[in-house]
């Protein structure tokens, strides 16, 4: 097996207390309390494309809020490509403080001049390929494409991309839209490698997806992560990231009802990055949020959600 490495309504997650107070205990990094004081004066951080069911962001929100009770957290769930579009539309009056996306979309946002330089804690520990030289984006974790299968709905668990073309999987497969989401783009690369393509020739992957649709095996293509529908038993096969399958299996109680299969021909481990938005309304709160994500606590939070953190040497949970 090969493995290759809106304006929209923003949902407020917590209400900030009226009284500004410093957190207890030592700083996670030099200058943390001073930055928190500045962020408290802004009162909010707006984090684009960090849906709470995705990559353990929900737990990250709660831990950030517990440490920094005077900074309100707000988020949305757009998809990587849509996030870049939203940033560009709001270029003259940015709505977001930070943006999270597939690394390819991060590079696009940087080239379009939509993001600001910022080097968070542990930035220097990242491999050079995982960071923009001035910090306009940096990789915070990686996710691997897999088949997430509901075994109550699927008798024979597919083991390969070839298997997914079989008639027995009629109207069974769901995946994210490659036109607007990073996950959709990544699964296209995985299918492409499996079909004999490479980075300079994506035609085999496009032809594979066309075959899957022509066979009638695609139930639907989603614009945002269908995790809730998956755990409710509404999706037989989701071509998605393995961490969502592992979360459903081990954390949300589905157990043997879920099989997580890394396809035998090929898969892709995709880097996901985050940026400080240029001209965002709450720059200090944005920096506080980005720093927290890159601390050992933030990186461990990803690991607890079955997501591979990007900072080397992170203390991973024992189980």
CATH number (domain holding residue 175): 3.40.190.10
- What pLDDT sits at residue 317? 65
151 and 92 inside one domain = no
237 and 294 inside one domain = no
Residue 256 lies in a domain: yes
34 and 160 inside one domain = no
Run means of pLDDT, 10 residues per run, the chain, 319 residues:
38 42 83 98 98 94 98 95 96 98 96 99 97 98 97 98 98 95 92 94 95 98 95 98 95 96 95 98 99 98 94 78
202 and 224 inside one domain = yes
Residue 100 lies in a domain: yes
Residue 291 lies in a domain: yes
Task: Give the structural domain span for 217.
Answer: 143-269
Secondary structure (3-state) at 308: strand
Residue 285 lies in a domain: yes
265 and 281 inside one domain = no
- What pLDDT sits at residue 23? 72
Q: How far apart are CA 229 and CA 177, in angstroms?
A: 16
In terms of Cα–Cα distance, which of 163, 169, 160 is closest to 266? 160
148 and 50 inside one domain = no
Q: How far apart are CA 290 and CA 44, in angstroms?
A: 13
Cβ–Cβ under 8 Å, residues 44 and 280? no
201 and 299 inside one domain = no
75 and 103 inside one domain = yes
303 and 284 inside one domain = yes
The pairing of beta strand 138-150 with beta strand 258-261: antiparallel
35 and 59 inside one domain = yes
285 and 204 inside one domain = no
Number of domains in the chain: 2
Secondary structure (3-state) at 97: coil
């Amino acid at each position: 097996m090969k493995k290759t490495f809106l304006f929209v309504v923003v949902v407020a997650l917590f209400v900030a207390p009226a009284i500004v107070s410093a957190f207890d205990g030592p700083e996670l990094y030099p200058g943390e309390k001073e930055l928190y004081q500045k962020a408290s004066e802004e009162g909010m951080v707006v984090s684009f494309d960090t849906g709470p069911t995705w990559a353990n962001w929900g737990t990250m929100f709660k831990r950030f809020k517990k440490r920094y009770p005077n900074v309100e957290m707000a988020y949305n769930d757009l998809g990587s490509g849509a996030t870049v579009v939203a940033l560009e539309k709001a270029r003259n009056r940015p709505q977001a403080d930070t943006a999270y996306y597939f690394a390819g979309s991060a590079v696009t946002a940087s080239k379009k001049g939509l993001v600001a330089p910022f080097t968070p804690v542990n930035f220097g520990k990242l491999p050079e390929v995982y960071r923009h030289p001035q910090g306009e984006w940096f990789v915070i974790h990686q996710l691997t494409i897999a088949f997430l299968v509901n075994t109550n709905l699927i008798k024979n668990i597919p083991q390969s991309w070839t298997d997914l073309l079989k008639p027995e999987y009629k109207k069974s497969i769901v995946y994210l839209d490659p036109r607007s989401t990073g996950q959709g783009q990544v699964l296209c690369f995985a299918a492409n490698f499996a079909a004999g393509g490479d980075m300079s020739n994506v035609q085999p992957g496009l032809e594979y997806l066309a075959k899957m649709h022509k066979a009638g095996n695609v139930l639907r293509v989603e614009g945002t992560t269908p995790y809730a529908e998956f755990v409710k038993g509404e999706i037989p096969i989701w071509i998605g990231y393995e961490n969502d399958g592992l979360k459903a299996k081990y954390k949300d109680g589905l157990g043997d009802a879920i099989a997580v299969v890394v396809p035998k021909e090929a898969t892709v481990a995709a880097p996901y990055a985050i940026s400080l938005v240029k001209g965002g309304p709450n720059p200090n709160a944005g920096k506080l949020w980005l720093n927290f994500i890159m601390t050992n606590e933030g990186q461990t939070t990803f690991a607890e959600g079955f997501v591979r953190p990007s900072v080397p040497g992170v203390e991973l949970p024992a189980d």
